[in-house]
């Protein structure tokens, strides 16, 4: 094996380890959430009261359900384990301000309707950031362990830092921002939409997000995050569009120690810096150690400093650490140097950049540029994964019986309509069948002799035996429904199904 082949194999392995580590953190977050049910505090339109009062009244592990029409958040400070749930609509006026329901069934029976994920509640603030996470002046800080914010548009707010969300995630806390848009926000310093420090091995997950037309007078038009002390940020299925800052138009992320960043299946488009020498039109990642993986990311039509800065698509500054960019595309980005990607190794520690199966098109003045301004060694590897291997004839494998959920919707009666497919078998009871369960149940507990709960099923698609009322819906609740193939004795075959996000 040649030295080049050995190096390629080594970087394949490193990239896989980084990605698996980040994904496992997300999986652990899902599995740690229990099946506890929680009460609902209602805020918003229809005489339902106001958001900040609902947050104040909510007890730990409750749900704050906010109506769709725009409301002032009162710059609510979040110091409890909550699910902040938007996209709700009252069918009649609430009986009283900040009404409280003790169970999901009571809340739904009252007549509230749920429009997620297609509608979102709008919150703004006239007194600072829309949401403040944690209170550093509180003797009990860090205040929260788990927080879910879902189905909101945080919009039209001015603040010093992080007009949409500002604060500190600490003490190994886990925060999920699901289907949250940051839109038309402006700050006089850093992070037009979000400004967060994530530390103490904490996790921040942003899924199905959007950063649209946010501005910052300094760094990070859409988002500014610092990852410290082994913390993790995972961004997936998220758009950064038309954000602007002096430096780092779309986002700026600092990675310290052994912290990890992943950006997966996301779009970074039409962002720019408004300084003549501003770097990182699409975004800027600064590594002081740690690692970053970009996988399935499209970075296009971004500009750095009116073509006077570096890194039109992405500026990567490295003082140690390693970066892997794979299955991605850089196109039509502009800068003075490194039109698509600019990498600068600035410190004394060794750094490495691996680019695999990634395409660069129409970037000006060049696709990428690597600079070593520090004394540390910079290792780069650029390769296309289209590698032809000798054909090996093997005996045909025994067909494997598998199942997968392909879509989940809610009907008018709040029943989950779960479409699924199977391979190499037809579910039947008695016989080989399916077990459906929420992701609050570990897969090894989803069949005999596990504790469950699960629902066994031997019929055709769709499966309809779970309702919204069955879903554990607090901050420790279910985010996905899962399926596994089950044997006639109701034991399950691990690795034969999947989990799918709940609406």
Closest by CA position to 225, among listed 260, 254, 189: 254
Secondary structure element (H or E) that encloses residue 331, with its range: strand 329-331
Looking at residue 36, what is its pLDDT?
40
Mean pLDDT for the chain?
90
Looking at residue 16, what is its pLDDT?
37
Per DSSP bridges, beta strands 232-236 and 321-326 are unpaired
Looking at residue 303, what is its pLDDT?
97
Looking at residue 394, what is its pLDDT?
60
Our CA angle for 112, 205, 77, nearest 5°, is 65
Looking at residue 383, what is its pLDDT?
87
Looking at residue 174, what is its pLDDT?
98
402-501: CATH class: mainly beta
Closest by CA position to 353, among listed 301, 318, 328: 318
Phi/psi class of residue 66: alpha, beta or left (left: φ > 0; alpha: ψ in -120 to 50)?
beta
What's the whole-model pTM score? Answer: 0.90
Which tens digit of pLDDT belongs to each residue from 40-50? 888 887 778 88
CA atoms within 13 A of residue 17's CA, in its CB half-sphere: 10
Beta partners for 324? 293, 354
Looking at residue 396, what is its pLDDT?
59
Distance between CA 92 and CA 105 in Å, rounded? 17
Distance from chain centroid for Cα 406: 20
CB 128 within 8 A of CB 154: no
Task: Pick out the chain residues at pLDDT < 50.
Answer: 1-36, 387-388
Looking at residue 404, what is its pLDDT?
98
Closest by CA position to 169, among listed 139, 134, 193: 134
Closest by CA position to 483, among listed 391, 403, 408, 423: 403
In the block, residue with structure tokens 């093997």: 394
Domain ranges of the chain: 402-501
Residues composing the chain: 503
Looking at residue 95, what is its pLDDT?
75
């Amino acid at each position: 094996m040649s030295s080049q082949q050995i190096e390629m194999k080594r970087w394949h392995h490193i990239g896989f380890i980084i990605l698996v580590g980040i994904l496992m953190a997300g999986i652990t977050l899902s599995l740690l959430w229990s099946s506890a049910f929680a009460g609902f505090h209602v805020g918003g339109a229809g005489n339902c009261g106001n958001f900040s009062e609902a947050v104040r009244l909510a007890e730990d592990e409750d749900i704050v359900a906010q109506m769709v029409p725009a409301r002032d958040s009162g710059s609510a400070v979040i110091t409890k384990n909550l699910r902040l749930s938007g996209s709700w609509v009252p069918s009649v006026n609430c009986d009283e301000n900040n009404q409280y329901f003790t169970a999901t069934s009571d809340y739904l029976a009252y007549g509230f309707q749920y429009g997620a994920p297609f509608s979102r509640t709008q919150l703004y603030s006239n007194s600072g950031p829309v949401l403040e996470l944690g209170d550093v002046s509180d003797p009990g800080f860090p205040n929260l362990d788990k927080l879910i914010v879902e189905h909101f548009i945080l919009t039209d707010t001015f603040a010093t830092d992080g007009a949409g969300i500002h604060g500190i995630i600490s003490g190994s806390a886990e925060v999920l921002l699901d289907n949250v848009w940051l839109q038309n926000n402006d700050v006089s310093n850093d992070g037009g939409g979000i400004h967060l420090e994530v530390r103490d091995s904490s996790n921040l997950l942003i899924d199905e997000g959007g950063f649209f037309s946010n501005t910052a007078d300094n760094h990070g038009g859409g988002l500014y995050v610092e990852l410290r002390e082994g913390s993790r940020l995972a961004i997936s299925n998220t758009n950064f569009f038309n954000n602007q800052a002096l430096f780092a138009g779309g986002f700026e992320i600092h990675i310290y120690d052994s912290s990890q960043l992943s950006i997966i299946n996301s779009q970074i488009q039409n962002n720019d810096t408004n300084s003549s020498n501003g770097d990182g039109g699409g975004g800027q990642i600064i590594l002081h150690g740690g690692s970053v993986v970009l996988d399935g990311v499209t970075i296009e039509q971004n500009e750095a400093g009116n073509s006077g800065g570096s890194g039109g698509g992405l500026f990567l500054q490295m003082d140690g650490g390693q970066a892997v960019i794979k299955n991605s595309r850089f196109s039509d980005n502009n800068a003075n140097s490194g039109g698509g990607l600019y990498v600068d190794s600035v410190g004394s520690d060794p750094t490495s950049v691996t680019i695999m199966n990634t395409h660069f098109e129409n970037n000006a003045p060049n696709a990428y540029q690597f600079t070593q301004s520090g004394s540390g060694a910079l290792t780069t590897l650029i390769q296309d994964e289209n590698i032809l291997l000798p054909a090996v004839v093997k005996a045909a494998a025994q067909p494997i019986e598998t199942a997968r959920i392909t879509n989940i919707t809610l009907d008018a009666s709040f029943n989950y309509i779960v479409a699924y497919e199977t391979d190499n078998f037809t579910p039947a009871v008695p016989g080989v069948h399916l077990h459906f369960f929420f992701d609050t149940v570990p897969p090894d507990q989803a069949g005999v002799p596990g504790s469950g709960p699960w629902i066994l099923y031997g019929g055709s698609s769709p499966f309809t035996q779970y309702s919204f009322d069955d879903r554990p819906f607090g901050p420790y609740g279910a985010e996905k429904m899962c399926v596994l193939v089950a044997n006639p004795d109701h034991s399950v075959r691990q690795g034969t199904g999947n989990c799918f996000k709940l609406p």
